[in-house]
Amino acid sequence: MNIKPSDQQRLQQLLQHLEQHSKIALGYPVANDFDYTALKPFMDYVINNVGDPFVEGTYKVESREFEREVVEFWARLMRAPEDNWWGYVTNGGTEGNLYGLYLARELHPKGIVYFSQDTHYSVTKNLHFLNMRHIMIRSQRNGEIDYEDLRETLKVNRDVPAIIFANIGTTMTEAKDDIGRIKTILAELVIGQYYIHSDAAMAGAVAPFLEPRPSFDFADGADSISISGHKFIGSPMPCGIVLARRNHVNRIARSIAYIGNLDTTITGSRNGLTPLILWYAMRAFGEDGLRARVQKSLQLAAYAEAQLQAIGVQAWRNPNALTVVMPQVPTWVQEKWQLATAQGISHIMLMPQKNLTTRLIDEFVADMASVCAMAEEQQL
């Protein structure tokens, strides 16, 4: 396949654009310190993991064996119940959340979904897709769900099954809802019918290695968990992992004759390359490597927070977060450093990146120092 020289030039310009803007992208949860050169030969094949990853189908150009190993690895880290878990590699956190809510709806058709105001914007879209009743709960100042507001709202609707959508790393502040505390509220209100989905897209790959360990996984009471692969783990294309209790999944499975497989996933055709990417990362890092990766990122986050505070910026972090929050920064800083900004705050995210060192943080802090200096001059 050949293209015109002008088209080739456009691709080269795009490559230069991507290279330039990947060097100082501090505002979004993207790890780019990967090297998947060994997987390039697999780009020559139409790898399609259509159907259930645990069932062999008639299409053989697939990577299900590797996908199963990825899912098993993360099921173990999420403390999934032995012989009662299932999962697959998704297109990203939004699909994982959609899957969890879909299972919840099938189990509790009349249930009400409860989620905080800091929940990712895609959740309301998913709820619209599924036509599910829902109530938004207030958030605390740090982005965590307001447990008292949740308690009072559940009390009013205690005769209806409760579907809890818990955030394990909110978009702007990386706040983590406490599933153990939520389960205590459900028990106190004697709500026996409930489902808990853990949206761990942001912090799911980090949380198993934190001390103290957040209350977020299957052992804490989750029925399903969504994790992103392109955030902390690192992938050149968006992907994720969804895990669920197998007895829930069995409720929605149906056999599809022409593919010789079960329809248990959201999409039919599924990317067979992303399981290889996540498998490669899993084999390269292992649990010890991931733990060291988390510690390094935490050290950089603590360094950035301290350096910003030292120049007078009101920077802060949630406990063991890789996200450093600060008052909204000027537009030029947002543009230069690609900072997400909303509701009067901006943040930087200390994700594993090729160019992320204390020196790069110092460059950002220097820009913020000039912002502080200009603000002081205006006040004089």
CATH code of 139's domain: 3.40.640.10
Mean pLDDT computed over 61-68: 98
Mean pLDDT over the full length of the chain: 95
DSSP class per residue in 353-370: -TT-SHHHHHHHHHHHHH
pLDDT of residue 378: 74
Are 206 and 118 in a shared domain? Answer: yes
The answer to whether position 194 is within a domain reads: yes
pLDDT band for 256, please (50, 70, 90 cuts): very low
User: With bands split at pLDDT 50, 70 and 90, how would you rate the model's confidence at 261?
Assistant: low
User: Which of 175, 99, 181 shows the shortest CA–CA distance to 143?
Assistant: 175
Domain boundary among 226, 256, 282: 282
Asked if residue 213 and residue 356 are part of one domain, the reply reads no
Side-chain half-sphere exposure of 86, counting CA atoms within 13 A: 19
What is the pLDDT confidence band of residue 260, given thresholds at 50, 70 and 90? low
Q: Does residue 298 share a domain with residue 189?
A: no
Residues 60 and 184 occupy one common structural domain: yes
Banded pLDDT at 258 (limits 50, 70, 90): very low
Q: Is 319 left (phi over 0), alpha (psi -120 to 50) or beta?
A: beta
Handedness of CA 199, 27, 293, 68 (dihedral sign): positive
What is the DSSP secondary-structure string of 88-125? EEESSHHHHHHHHHHHHHHH-TT-EEEEETTS-THHHH
Return the DSSP state at 187: H
Provide the domain limits for residue 266: 38-282
| DSSP assigned state of 31 | -
Q: Is residue 22 part of a domain?
A: no
Point out which residues pair with 160 in neighbouring strands: none
**pLDDT average, residue stretch 182-211:** 97
Describe the strand order of the beta sheet including 240-244 as a list of residue ranges: 86-90, 240-244, 224-228, 194-199, 162-167, 112-116, 133-137
Same domain, 329 and 192: no
Token pair 């853990």 is at which residue? 198
Q: Which of 282, 308, 324 is the last residue of a domain?
A: 282
> Can you tell me the mean pLDDT for 98-112?
96
* CATH code of the domain containing 363: 3.90.1150.10
Q: Identify whether 330 is preceded by a cis peptide bond (ω within 30 of 0).
A: no
Q: How far apart are CA 67 and CA 278, in angstroms?
A: 8
Q: Is the same domain home to 208 and 238?
A: yes
- Structural domain tally of the chain? 2
Domain contains 15: no
What sign does the dihedral 64-70-72-74 (CA atoms) show? Answer: negative
Burial class (CB in 10 A: 0-12, 13-18, 19+), 72: middle
- Asked if residue 254 has pLDDT above 80, the reply is no
In a domain, 23, yes or no: no
Q: Around Cβ 293, how many Cβ atoms within 10 Å?
A: 21
Domain stop point among 282, 298, 320: 282
Joined together, the tokens standing for residue 131 give 């036509």
Question: Is 1 within the bounds of a domain?
Answer: no
Global pTM?
0.95
For residue 282, pLDDT over 80 is answered with yes
Secondary structure of residue 296 in the 3-state scheme: helix
- Same-domain pairing of 262 and 303: no
The average pLDDT across 8-34 equals 94
Q: Three-state DSSP class for 147?
A: helix
- Whether pLDDT at 255 is above 90: no
